[in-house]
Structure 1
């Protein structure tokens, strides 16, 4: 193992802190996942739009399992987290020209989904400790055109849900809770995703509950759930009772036009198996993150905090703020690259602010020029959100799969950070 006394950092060709030992692989198939996929393969039903075969679909089974896990009334699986967010927005009545408040520090889908329903994302600043939507900033962003608030539980933190829910109720706005990075986390002993009018999840390859691609929207409101069903299945929904075998199960009601954003039977079967492993994996991540909090804190780093109401965290990413003294010498991106070289593990800065993110570029899509002046309203320029900007320059993160390792892995991570931070003056940039 390399030490701080070695002649060169790994990024400069020196021996790395960690070499020859792999990190945990993600996604990790759960026991029974392969058998479930083979069952679907030979079932004659790969989609919920296939003819009814006499048994509940895997999609219906997963929806029931996930609703039970979350203790919520309804779950509508979708093709992606993006699909879940868009159907949630539309089901809540958000449409052309409406404003939707979103946190300025988030993955681009927080803004692009709002654009996708012809509405206007309004960026609000985040809390400097949690990196989640600041309730005070959210209230300051409300205008007569505001139609919804979207809160994102970012990386490993839960937002201040009590304050945000009270804010939404005070102004009569739906609160859409994006829990794409928080499967299994709890706030006041309730699962993340169940505090908002609608909760949305992603089951993308990177997520702690994964089927490669996929998502879900959850709610306790039967009418909203029915609208989401129509919006994700070309205007069709499931019947109150099953049809005769061989007949289509989805009913063409004509209530609400939708699009095809359904989850496949393969993904649904995989999620049923993966869900059984979620709590145990989250417990391992949580214990390792607690150890890292202590080790990196001793180096002068500040781990991302969660809100006071959090009763159990999960970790999509482990995020940590670098010491100010180091940031005066070198950028977070350069430090992240150097730590990556020491570990053979990708460490990177947190998301760029949405108003400064090259992935958020409405002008690149002709569809957003549909109304004169609309493109100006949704342009990324002209935002001054100091907390978001500072957080993007200060924090680095790595994927939750590393937290499925053992204590020795956590000590390797701390050793790599320590080595790079001690010799940050040797880095360029």
Structure 2
């Protein structure tokens, strides 16, 4: 008989044994932070000090890592998305197609530029935007498509790029959860007109907070620079020491969404460890895929063009088809008790998310009928709803452990699922 689940008083699979911590400071991170601390320049808006800023150095390093022409660091992934949308010409009343299953920022950033997010179904296996559903959602008001590489999957970029090109739409690639992943041999983030990244505390490349927008289009990069620095950008030549480095061009009004020098210095150090950590996560995920598949579970898949997966979250579908959100929540709670590792259901569909409610902020009531266009209650998308009920996820830090840790995760699933009736009945 299977051991009693820890949530019902049994001995946990991992009693008292810790998981790898996150974030993990890279070698040299402390020295880089101290260098900024004593440099007299903590912001790119500070007077020029005679050497390139850490922000500029990170931008160049990240662009080279991705193989793209331009990188503009930002204060957050949200800031990167909002500046990307505006740089691509999205504005008041325009529609932007976004995946129905994603973090709240996929919708709130669109609303934040006075546009209208239009939710489209996801692929049931990858949980990423379904190209056919995206194309079906296009109307004369559509201005852009935002594709999200979710958890560990890369979306079908070939098909989505073709849809965008067919209809003359901007394609914005939200790669906040996919630093270092590749599709057909190219880094993700480089297939869209603009690619965006988050460097939030939880991400595989992190400075606590932060983000970046990348593009091969010099004009788009210049617009993003202005949008994130109060309408200023770097001049063509360095100024004299002590003078401002950012030039007030008057080209485009912006806001202050800049990355600090501390964050930039930290990211330069962290970038050097990214590939090695991604390789460890990938190897452990491959093993865990096999162990969980043997139990009848369904690890998240990725699109066929993927040539390298990265893991922001490990996501897996439970082995039964029809059950409600309370069931998956109970299973997640039981797994957390077994492992001492937070296991959660995946994101709720955006139209059902408590974090997406434009009516709660008066600033979005910009004209007759606009709030009605934003009303999430007008959507019913069963694939996304079913995925939210059936998939669970946990943070990538657990994949930095040993092979034995993957066996612990598999044992926890075996023990909990063997007692499913007791958990969900």
TM range (shorter): over 0.9
Indicate conservation of the 8 Å contact 1:302/1:322, yes or no: yes
Partner of 1:390: 386
Q: Corresponding residue for 1:295? A: 291
Distance 1:396 1:415 in 2: 16
Q: Which residue of 1 aligns with 2:274?
A: 278
1:34-73 CA-to-partner distances (Å, cap 9, x unmatched) read 0000000000000000000000000000000000000000
Q: Is the contact made by 2:121 and 2:381 (CA closer than 8 Å) also made in structure 1?
A: yes
Change (3 A) 1:422 1:188: same
Query: In the alignment, which of 321, 324, 346 is matched to residue 320 of structure 2?
Result: 324
Q: Distance in 1 between matches of 2:324 and 2:347?
A: 20
Deviation at 1:12, TM superposition (A): 1.4
1:80–1:216 CA contact under 8 A, matched in 2 = yes
State how far apart, in whole Å, the 1-side matches of 2:283 and 2:247 are.
Answer: 47
Match of 1:217 in 2: 213
1:112-153 alpha-carbon deviations (Å, 9 max, x no partner): 000000000000000011000000000000000000000000
Partner of 2:17: 21
Partner of 1:162: 158
Question: What TM-score do you get using the length of structure 2 for normalisation?
Answer: 0.99
8 Å CA contact retained: 2:126, 2:303: yes
**Distance in 2, Cα, partners of 1:75 & 1:199:** 9
Is the aligned partner of 1:135 residue 2:135? no
Shift of 1:329: 11
> Which portions of structure 1, spanning 4 or more consecutive aligned residues, are displaced by more than 3 angstroms?
325-330
Counting only pairs closer than 5 Å after superposition, residues 93-132 of structure 1 correspond to structure 2 as 93-132=89-128
Match of 1:311 among 302, 307, 310: 307
1:5 Cα deviation after fit: 3.6
Give the TM-score taking structure 1 as reference length: 0.98
CA contact (8 A) 1:330 1:427 kept: no
- Deviation readout 1:68-119 (Å, 9 max, x if unpaired): 0000000000000000000000000000000000000000000000000000
**Among 202, 221, 230, the residue aligned to 1:234:** 230
For 2:259 and 2:378, locate their aligned partners in 1 and report how far apart those are by CA, in whole Å: 38
Deviation at 1:372, TM superposition (A): 1.4
Partner of 1:255: 251
Q: Is the 8 A contact 2:325 2:389 kept in 1?
A: no
Count of matched residue pairs: 425
Cα distance in 1 between the residues matched to 2:325 and 2:363 = 44
1:43 match: 39
1:50–1:329 Cα change, 3 Å: closer
Instruction: Give the SS at the match of 1:20.
Output: coil
Partner residue of 1:190 out of 143, 167, 186: 186
Q: What SS does the corresponding residue of 1:101 show, helix, strand or coil?
A: strand
Structure 1 range deviating more: 125-134 or 13-22: 13-22
Partners of 1:387 and 1:135 lie apart in 2 by 14
Q: Does the Cα contact within 8 Å between 1:11 and 1:341 map onto a contact in 2?
A: yes
Distance 1:47 1:314, change over 3 A: same
Match of 1:339 in 2: 335
| Counterpart residue number, 2:201 | 205
Instruction: Return the offset for 1:331.
Output: 1.2
Other structure's SS at 2:92 match: coil
For residues 166-193 of structure 1, what are the alpha-carbon distances to aligned partners after superposition, in whole Å with 9 as ceiling and x for unaligned? 1100000010000000000000000010
Q: Is the CA contact 1:329–1:425 (under 8 Å) kept in the aligned structure 2?
A: no
